[in-house]
Structure 1
Amino acid sequence: MAAITTGLGSRLVSTDTQAKAFQELPVISLARLASTDPKERKALAAEAAINSGFFYISDHGVPQSVIDGIFEQAKEFFALPAEKKMQMDMHNSPAFKGYQPLKGENVDPANRGDVHEAWDMGDDSQVMREGKKNGNQWPSKTDLPEFQPKLQRAWDEIMALGKRLFPLFALALDLPEDYFADKLKSPGSTMRILHYPPQFGPMDSKEIGIGAHSDYECFTLLLQHGDVQALQVLNGAGEWVEAPPKPGTFVLNIGDQLQLLSNSIFKSTIHRAINRSGVERMSSPFFFGLDYDAVLEVLPSCVTEERPALYEPIKAGEYVEKRLAETYV
């Protein structure tokens, strides 16, 4: 076993690099999301609060054409010459938006850098703490004329889906469905496109696609392109479980902000990616956070004499910025 450092403390994980077989992550249909029956929505919320913290969602309403557009543009973007991509170096942005080269990120401090490249975007109108702008860095329209409109359309569609999901998590915590509404006026969220080259030769557990980590925001919606298996999720027994792509679905996982708010009733699940498929892999996660000035404070309903508050209050923006600064080398 080895210790993985997260923003909410250290956790013990297995050092075995081979995924161990066990049942697939569940698939939850969102067909009941628009139901006018509170009991139906409550039942769906109960499913979303399952112990794994990781599951697929189907019937999500995001058009397949929009999803296809993400990966069409991602393929063209990552094929650009390195010097053009580095003109968008995310270190030029106070909000870490833009391009990150291979091994420019290291989510597990015990590793030597994550074997992927990425481009990150946020809401252009979003203002972070201390008046800092999100600072999106778009590729030239001469190079990629459809990149910005297609990625912006995807942002709008997936953001709308995420906002429809927050009432489920409120219900699962026995809160009013609109509990998060006033904390989502200008949510501190990020969408990224990721390219994982194939890795060959002997396995080096210190250099993998992305090291073992938890996500920093409330929850993540992940799109996986094609049929390349790389994502692995840590279960309660310390085993790595494969989460292969499933057509027509997102993978949803709980992040740190919900773990903090719920006093660890919701678990921010450890996961990683290892691309030993022999071909490139692309994915696109969307990280849903609360407004940067929203205070992350353990909910009173999640505190008892036997279970005191485990975390100190912190603003959402401060927490995410701290984690990002620790991640990017």
Structure 2
Amino acid sequence: MTTLQTGLGERLISNDVNGKAFTELPIIDLTALSSPNLEDRKALAAEIQAACVDVGFFYIKNHGIAEEVLSTAFAQAREFFDQPLDKKMLVDLHKGDSFKGYAPLMGEQVDPASRGDVHESFDLGSDDQALGEGKKTGNLWPPAEDLPAFRPALESAWDSIMALGKRLFPLIALSLNLEEDYFAKYLTNPGSVMRVLSYPPQFGEVDLKEIGIGAHSDYECFTLLCQHGDVQALQVLNAAGDWVQAPPIPGTIVVNLGDQLQRWTNGVYKSTIHRAINRTGKERMSMPFFFGTDYDTLLEVLPSCISPERPAMYEPIIAGKWVEQRLAETYIKVDPVTGEKI
């Protein structure tokens, strides 16, 4: 195990268990997910296992989410981001204690060596998830009179992606030789967040202190990333230390593992470092859905992932405490006009 310091704290990079110097991400067809035949589902889980061990990232196709649901959400997000800054700041996430709402350009800093991340974002989640003592993760929505279709479009996307995420957990369980319903008890009210992101184009020489989003790993179980259009920005770090492009592929969603699943599997499954650099000359939009467990879940290494040669490398931690800590370290308060830290 090696470490990388990011704006989300010091991260263990699990590259000691068959990590590959991959040059592209695998594409996994989810058609067999609906098969009544257990052997078909186990075969699909074996593909998931190989991707989780070797790469930590993969595309999925035939995932069941209607393209119209995603395109409508992106269209409404575009309308939100096109508003004047003062309108967007009505739902500044710093107005609440839930890390939900709008963050302006440079309002995040996942890499502490950077000057901030060059994107805008709008975050939402479930209104009844408790995060931290006395806190409720309530959403901040723009006024309906300004954007009447915004909330319905994003909630529709949320519902569809949440349903897909729940269907993936049995595959994860099978891939770990667990019963298909093993994780069900941790998913009664999953602690998840969906974001829509707008990355302006950047020009000239690449300055790694000021890119779309700095090098980081995600902190939930896995992320379902919907990429809009054909704008390339996502880059994934392989075991050789090379950055591999992960371009949008029509009809697919990118899946990457997060820190919670890496902790659960004792580093056997990879929470892979990635970043976004938009040098295309066009705006990039994406919609990641960070799928986590119930916030009261105790994350401790699965017994099947411990051996005399590989003792537990992670201390147990409550999922909600982990998420809250990471969110607090990520968001910075900036002047939305100048981009300077406040």
Provide TM-score, normalisation by structure 1: 0.94
Shift of 1:175: 1.0
Residue matched to 2:32:
32
Counterparts of 1:206-217 in structure 2, within 5 Å, are 206-217=209-220
Q: Aligned partners of 2:280, 2:306: CA distance in 1, in Å?
A: 45
1:263–1:310 CA contact under 8 A, matched in 2? yes
Q: Aligned partners of 1:293, 1:2: CA distance in 2, in Å?
A: 27
Shift of 1:311: 0.4
Residue matched to 2:339:
none
Residue matched to 1:76:
79
Residue matched to 2:18:
none
Change (3 A) 1:48 1:97: same
1:129–1:293 CA contact under 8 A, matched in 2? no
Residue matched to 2:113:
110
Q: Does residue 1:312 correspond to 2:315, yes or no?
A: yes
Q: Aligned partners of 2:300, 2:95: CA distance in 1, in Å?
A: 32
Residue matched to 1:275:
278
2:222–2:292 CA contact under 8 A, matched in 1? yes
Shift of 1:69: 0.9
Q: Does residue 1:98 correspond to 2:101, yes or no?
A: yes
Q: Aligned partners of 2:3, 2:262: CA distance in 1, in Å?
A: 21
Q: Does residue 1:235 correspond to 2:248, yes or no?
A: no
Q: Does residue 1:43 correspond to 2:46, yes or no?
A: no
* 1:55 aligned residue (35, 58, 74): 58
1:4–1:12 CA contact under 8 A, matched in 2? no
What is the DSSP-based 3-state SS (H/G/I as helix, E as strand, rest coil) of the residue aligned with 2:133? helix
* 1:153 aligned residue (156, 159, 162): 156
Shift of 1:36: 1.4
Shift of 1:127: 2.2
Counterparts of 1:174-253 in structure 2, within 5 Å, are 174-253=177-256
Unaligned runs of 5+ in 2: 16-20, 333-342
Shift of 1:2: 9.6
Change (3 A) 1:295 1:26: same
Q: Which moved more, 1:313-322 or 1:85-94?
A: 85-94
Q: Deviation per CA, 1:102-129, whole angstroms, max 9, x where unpaired?
A: 0000011121100000000001222223
Change (3 A) 1:108 1:10: farther
Change (3 A) 1:280 1:2: farther
Q: Aligned partners of 1:2, 1:291: CA distance in 2, in Å?
A: 27
Change (3 A) 1:325 1:78: same
Identity of aligned residues (%): 64
* 2:125 aligned residue (122, 127, 148): 122
1:3–1:12 CA contact under 8 A, matched in 2? no
Shift of 1:131: 3.5
Change (3 A) 1:98 1:245: same
What is the DSSP-based 3-state SS (H/G/I as helix, E as strand, rest coil) of the residue aligned with 1:129? coil
1:7–1:256 CA contact under 8 A, matched in 2? no
What is the DSSP-based 3-state SS (H/G/I as helix, E as strand, rest coil) of the residue aligned with 1:193? strand
Residue matched to 1:18:
none
2:22–2:55 CA contact under 8 A, matched in 1? no
Change (3 A) 1:8 1:48: farther
Q: Aligned partners of 1:266, 1:12: CA distance in 2, in Å?
A: 8
Q: Deviation per CA, 1:134-153, whole angstroms, max 9, x where unpaired?
A: 12001111111000111111
Provide TM-score, normalisation by structure 2: 0.91
Q: Aligned partners of 2:134, 2:164: CA distance in 1, in Å?
A: 28
2:124–2:194 CA contact under 8 A, matched in 1? yes
Q: Deviation per CA, 1:71-114, whole angstroms, max 9, x where unpaired?
A: 10011000011011111111122120000000000011121100
What is the DSSP-based 3-state SS (H/G/I as helix, E as strand, rest coil) of the residue aligned with 1:180? helix
CA RMSD of aligned residues (A): 1.8
Q: Aligned partners of 2:210, 2:288: CA distance in 1, in Å?
A: 21
Change (3 A) 1:175 1:11: closer
Q: Aligned partners of 1:108, 1:176: CA distance in 2, in Å?
A: 38
State the AA in 2 paired with 1:58.
K
State the AA in 2 paired with 1:9.
R
State the AA in 1 paired with 2:11.
G
